Amino acid sequence: MKILVAVKRVVDAKVKVRPLPDHSGPDIKLARMAMNPFDEIAVEEAVELKESGKATEVVAVTIGGAKSVDVLRTAMAIGADRSIHVQTDDVVEPLAAAKILAKIVEKEAPGLILLGKQAIDDDCGQTGPMLSGLLKCPLGAFAGEIAFGDDGRVLVTRETDGGTQTVSLALPAVVTADLRLAEPRYVTLPSMAKARKKPVETIALADLGVDAAPRIRTLCVEPPPARKAGVMVSSVDELVEKLRNEAHVL
């Protein structure tokens, strides 16, 4: 079985992003970039499935400019066999990303499509569900565990508000990775060197015939308001009084 893993290049999670002077968007020109953490978990799970004999090939795919190849190299250093780069310098919204990935799925015919549950730059969490809808295949969202049954179906355990839920999905299926799905391995220099020898296929967005026109217009980007300093109280009675008068707790 082939596994296709979608990865995205985002601002490193440790970087504090600030808005541009005109507040038209975030200032990421000089920011350190990295693979989306949830996508990195998805890559690790795909590689572990291959190492356990459940899959025969892991293919990473990303959408973005020329520098997006960096995250593909990281995916291949983790253990992906090859990668696909859909090249575009335009902003790609979740619906457009789902349409593009659907074209890649048609070309590659994987048994399992893995991606992070959301990207930390926009936190939309929409690409996976939209891809499932476009492909008309089952969806296992927010996966914390993946297993395979004897009937050839994939069992996805996910957290819900009421506890955990296990769903049985026919293949091909789309699964989005939550934090508990896998622990990404440390990428070493030798593994990065090996990754540079693995093939990267480049496809121009225009060649896919996908309408990737943006449908959302950003009006303004502002930093979150600063939190007020905490207040020390000397007694429970004072705490209760403040909760009643200032926090509007009855």
* Position 131 pLDDT exceeds 90: yes
* Highest mean pLDDT: which range of 37-51, 150-164, 216-230: 37-51
Where would I find the H helices in 54-202?
69-78, 94-108, 127-135, 189-195
Distance, CA of 247 to CA of 250 (rounded, Å): 9
Kindly report, residue by residue over 27-86, the tens digit of the pLDDT: 888 888 899 999 999 999 999 999 999 999 999 999 999 999 999 999 999 999 999 999
pLDDT of the residue at 19: 86
Distance, CA of 189 to CA of 101 (rounded, Å): 30
Q: Strands (DSSP E) along the chain, which ranges?
A: 2-6, 9-11, 18-19, 26-27, 33-35, 57-64, 82-87, 112-116, 139-148, 154-160, 163-169, 173-177, 200-204
| CATH class name, domain 2-219 | alpha beta
- Maximal C-alpha separation, the chain: 69
- Look up the pTM and report it: 0.85
Domain ranges of the chain: 2-219
Average pLDDT over all residues of the chain: 90
